[in-house]
Amino acid sequence: MSDANEPRPLLHGIECPADLRALPREQVEQVAEEIRTEILSRVSQTGGHLASSLGAVELITAIHYVFDTPTDRLILDVGHQGYPHKMLTGRREDFDSIGQRGGMSKFLRRTESEYDHFGAGHAGTSISAALGMARAKFHQGEDGVVIAMIGDGSMTAGMAFEALNHAGHLDEKNLIVVLNDNEMSIDPNVGALSSYLSRKLSAPMVRRVKGWAREFLDGLPGDMLHWARKAEESVKTFFTPGMLFEALGFRYVGPIQGHRMSDVLETMENVKELVANGGGPVLIHAMTEKGHGYAPAEADPLKYHGVGQFDVESGKFAPKKAAPPTYTDVFSDTLIRLAREDERIVAITAAMASGTGLDKFQRKLPKRFYDVGIAEQHAVTFAAGLAAEGMKPVAAIYSTFLQRAFDQVVHDVCLQNLDVTFALDRAGLVGADGATHQGLFDYAYLRTLPNAVVMAPKDENELQHLLATAIKYPGPAAIRFPRGSGIGAALDPDVKEIALGEAELLRDGDDVALIAIGNTVHPAIEAAGDLAGDGISSAVLNARFVKPLDRERILDLARRVRTIVTIEEHAAMGGFGTAILELLAEEGLQIPVRTLGIPDKLIEHGESASTLGLAAPDIAAAARALVAAAD
């Protein structure tokens, strides 16, 4: 039997924020606690983004309670902290399918809910988007404010300050920015801004000044109180981060305790009234704790940022099956090994030390490690500066995130032919993270650039050798590799360079040439075995390089076989297969060719090689049909 004094559950009766707003104010804190419990229960079974969402429960709950969403817009940066928002907007029962094919996204998506006003999986976009929406409301004469909620980690992204600067210039009255300050993005925050916030808020003088101000104000009458409050604001601005944000044209409110619901609600209500009276733009600075309310996540928020299944009581994760080392681990170990042999090698990450494996490099060679924060543009040009003075920088950046620095790759690295190596982790399909994180465009946007070399290993052993090749090359070189474990290839004890542009003929044949690159090579080998059972003779070429192509080997095959199939885990448009077609056209060779790659559509979470026609049976079927058509 349940305890008669136990409060009646509330969350199950909330299908939209209007249901939340119908509750008495004193019950909002109970809703927040139920959300935290529900997130733990659900995510422990499905996996997902945990620590960030736990740390944002009170802020998101209070925003939906105080403001009139969806008329008032709530824009969440990145989306890691979006699970409380999903719980309050009719998707609580969808959590069983999160990250699965056909299920709910791990991030916010405009097509998923009328409350997801702007989709995001990359950091730093919220304030720009919110400002654009606020101006659209102004131009169209619509009611409502726009709230951008951004973590302090995302504030290291340059465009966040570009947006703050523009909003202050426009004096945008209907914009509210909520700075969720937990001193972390995924890894601990770096940079002068993070250090500034921490120093200002930890200073004893701040606490003393505020105490003096409160005592002084309590005893003042009438007009004196008005001017004294002005003075208090000056003192607060000088001794807190408000000095920075008010210089950009924002009214600064805070810092507030972001897990004390009464304070958060009162602040949101006061700011709502302030904005209604033309007092915007406003920045609310909330101090929170990543993983709040769950001791294991509080103790190790990095470990509990993105989780698989775990036991809520103990915090222990479900045991992992034995697997080969990940591509990320092999990359990191190889880079450390090469850096010990060459003191010019330095490693750069954009707030993803653990995700790219460079946390190990940092521990081993800390003086040659740089984390620039969520600032990919700066990372690339910083690397260019290092290279210009004779260093050999290796910028390890997820494929999807290097897109953010395309102009810097073009202008600052390739046009100057500087010796920068790009290690593109998470290239290809990424599974549960979905459309915002798929690494499907790097071949296309890199192979067009002058001086660039672009390569991909067939397995984790070849990754070692191609990384050495990329670093040795005295110009821009990109090596891309997939997420997750390798195939179990034995690692050669000695790392050796591979001749630039040299492909590898793994199997010869007469009927069809399967020309594959990266992690599609081994499925192509498997497909060749299946085709042999049908009497179809298949050659398999491991291209290794998208640029430069091994013209000699490719053209030799094209002149000997009857058909060609190219295979890549990359967008079919403009990618590796397109490069092969261009070569054949240039040489005037007419031969039936089928290019297998990612189709020209949005690739959702949960999609895999087998669902997109890139598994061994699909390759064999495509080759079989092509050979039959050529008969």
Report the CATH number that the domain containing residue 617 is assigned in CATH: 3.40.50.920
Q: Which of residues 278, 307, 336 is at a domain's end? A: 307
Is the residue at 380 inside a domain? yes
Closest to 434 in 3D by CA, of 615, 616, 275, 306 = 306
Residue 424 sits in the same domain as residue 533: no
Please identify which of the residues 272, 368, 392, 404 carries the catalytic annotation. Answer: 404
β-pair type (251-257, 282-287): parallel
Residue 98 sits in the same domain as residue 221: yes
Residue 62: domain span? 11-307
Is the residue at 499 inside a domain? no
Q: How far apart are CA 417 and CA 421, in angstroms?
A: 11
Residue 79 sits in the same domain as residue 204: yes
Please identify which of the residues 172, 183, 376, 460 carries the catalytic annotation. Answer: 376
Residue 143 sits in the same domain as residue 260: yes
Residue 101 annotated as catalytic: no
Residue 290 annotated as catalytic: yes
> Given this model, what pLDDT does residue 300 score?
85
Is the residue at 488 inside a domain? no
> Given this model, what pLDDT does residue 205 score?
39
Residue 404 sits in the same domain as residue 543: no
**Residue 476 preceded by cis peptide, ω within 30:** no
DSSP secondary structure of 545-580: EEES--HHHHHHHHHHSSEEEEEEEEESTTSHHHHH
Is the residue at 491 inside a domain? no
What tokens appear for 566 in the block? 């190219």
Q: How far apart are CA 405 and CA 377, in angstroms?
A: 4
> Given this model, what pLDDT does residue 4 score?
57
What tokens appear for 156 in the block? 């290291």
Residue 419 sits in the same domain as residue 288: no
Please identify which of the residues 236, 290, 360, 544 carries the catalytic annotation. Answer: 290
pTM summary value: 0.83
Is the residue at 486 inside a domain? no
Q: Which of residues 307, 338, 357 is at a domain's end? A: 307
> Given this model, what pLDDT does residue 508 score?
96
Is the residue at 104 inside a domain? yes
CATH number at 424 reads 3.40.50.970
Q: Residue 188 carries which side chain, given as an amino acid letter?
A: P
Closest to 282 in 3D by CA, of 420, 130, 482, 426 = 130
Q: Which of residues 243, 275, 307 is at a domain's end? A: 307
Over the chain (631 residues), what is each successive 10-residue block's mean pLDDT? 68 93 95 92 83 90 95 88 90 83 82 87 85 92 92 81 90 92 58 45 41 47 50 50 82 90 93 89 92 86 81 82 91 97 96 92 96 91 96 96 95 96 95 84 96 98 98 97 94 96 97 97 97 96 98 97 97 96 96 96 85 94 94 77
Residue 376 annotated as catalytic: yes
Q: How many domains does the chain have?
A: 3
Is the residue at 376 inside a domain? yes
Residue 280 sits in the same domain as residue 336: no
Residue 256 sits in the same domain as residue 144: yes
Is the residue at 314 inside a domain? no
Residue 597 sits in the same domain as residue 626: yes
Residue 332 sits in the same domain as residue 401: yes
Which residues have a Cβ under 8 Å from the Cβ of 355 and sit 6 or more positions away? 186, 187, 328, 398, 425
Residue 20 sits in the same domain as residue 125: yes
β-pair type (563-571, 477-480): unpaired
What residues are paired with 425 via a beta bridge? 398
CA 625 from chain centre, in angstroms, equals 39
Tell me the torsion sign for CA atoms 432, 435, 440, 442: negative
Residue 475 sits in the same domain as residue 509: no
